[in-house]
Structure 1
Amino acid sequence: MLKILSMLVFLMVAFVTNAQPNTGTKKQIEWISLQEAYNRTQKEPRKTIIDVYTDWCGWCKVMDKKTYGNPVIIDYLNKNFYVVKLDAESRNDISVGGIKYSFDAQKNANQAAIILLQGNLSYPTTVFLDSDFNMIQPIPGYLEAQEFHQIITFIGGDNHKKEPFTQYKENTYKEVFRDLKF
């Protein structure tokens, strides 16, 4: 009888423990549409990052997991940028600021992606727009978390207006973020 009572107590404790709400939610990037980023920029100016990808792109998936999944990256992006994920091969019309972008069958890409990538259809490509939604720079290729952090802090902190990127990496970045672990 004691064994049965002990087993019941154990099961009740296990049930109550497992029924508790999960308070440890995983950090995630607040991805929004291109139109939503444009709308938010009109009300609260902020730079925008656009992750231009395709469903078949392996490096896009790796960057999603390793770079965009890094907590340091997530925190910085959510605080300093509007962040957009744009499928370059989307067949849906994309409207931004009253302009409609359609799928271009000849290039197998949406016109929005073609314009943002300046015709260089390479995936993944990270596109940076200023707070007025003007192009800063597209950066093609996979970026590791630390390299990506250097770039987003360089642009996010307006350091791109003050010094060359190589100088920023060697001096400013090393000084400010020397204790950061990836």
Structure 2
Amino acid sequence: MKRIAIMLMLLLFVSMHSVAQEINWVTLEQALELQKKTPKKIMMDVYTSWCGPCKMLDKNTFHNADVVDYVNKHYYAVKFDAEGNEEVNYKGKTFANPGYKPELANRRNSPHELTRYFQVSAYPTIVFMDEEGELIAPIRGYQQPTQLELYLKLFKNDDYKDMDTQEKFNDYYKAFKPEFKG
């Protein structure tokens, strides 16, 4: 009986520690509401269901322990289907996807109006917004954890506000020392 109790405790311990860390994803409307109580920037993953690099970003980057910890601590994280059919209220306007075709739900579909509004022209794109929900920048393409770290810290610390030239960004990029494990 004692052996069974020890085995059960071991099993419970192992299962508790093998649970993958997750980013706390919310909708854009929820993130904007949360900002009213506790201001944080927003990081929005703009993806599609058919996009291979989007799936890699989700699997390799958004499940990286350093990324998960940093995002959960400093950002409201939003997942947004760039070709989805949901209505989204943002800045007093309702955005929809009037060209959406249900039969194309898992293939290329019409881009959502919010996708265009945020200047998204490729998938994946990570859209960063400030504490008032205003667009800072869309960052195109697959980002490895250390690549995303640069942008997470650049925007979180407001360092981007001093970068009015490409040269200043290049200097920041060259000086940046990633701390996340890849």
Distance 1:155 1:114 in 2: 22
CA contact 1:47–1:130 (8 Å) conserved in 2: yes
1:92 counterpart = 2:86 = yes
Match of 2:138 in 1: 138
Query: In 2 relative to 1, CA 108–17 (structure 1 residues): closer, same or farther, beyond 3 Å?
Result: same
Distance 1:58 1:81 in 2: 25
1:127-166 alignment runs, 5 A limit? 127-163=127-163, 164-166=168-170
CA contact 1:48–1:81 (8 Å) conserved in 2: yes
Distance 1:19 1:146 in 2: 33
1:33-72 alignment runs, 5 A limit? 33-72=27-66
SS in 2 for 1:23: helix
Deviation at 1:67, TM superposition (A): 1.0
Superposed CA offset, 1:14-37 (max 9, x none): 355435684324321110001001
Distance 2:6 2:21 in 1: 29
Distance 1:122 1:104 in 2: 20
Query: In 2 relative to 1, CA 12–44 (structure 1 residues): closer, same or farther, beyond 3 Å?
Result: closer
Distance 2:135 2:114 in 1: 13
Distance 2:90 2:161 in 1: 27
Distance 2:145 2:92 in 1: 35
Query: In 2 relative to 1, CA 48–13 (structure 1 residues): closer, same or farther, beyond 3 Å?
Result: closer
Which amino acid is the alignment partner of residue 160 of structure 1? Y
Query: In 2 relative to 1, CA 29–180 (structure 1 residues): closer, same or farther, beyond 3 Å?
Result: closer
Deviates more, 1:139-148 or 1:95-104: 95-104
- Number of residue pairs the alignment of both structures matches: 169
TM-score, length-scaled by structure 2? 0.81
Unpaired runs of 5+ in structure 1?
A: 1-7
Distance 2:78 2:36 in 1: 16
CA contact 2:67–2:180 (8 Å) conserved in 1: no
Distance 2:88 2:12 in 1: 43
Percent of paired sites with the same residue: 29
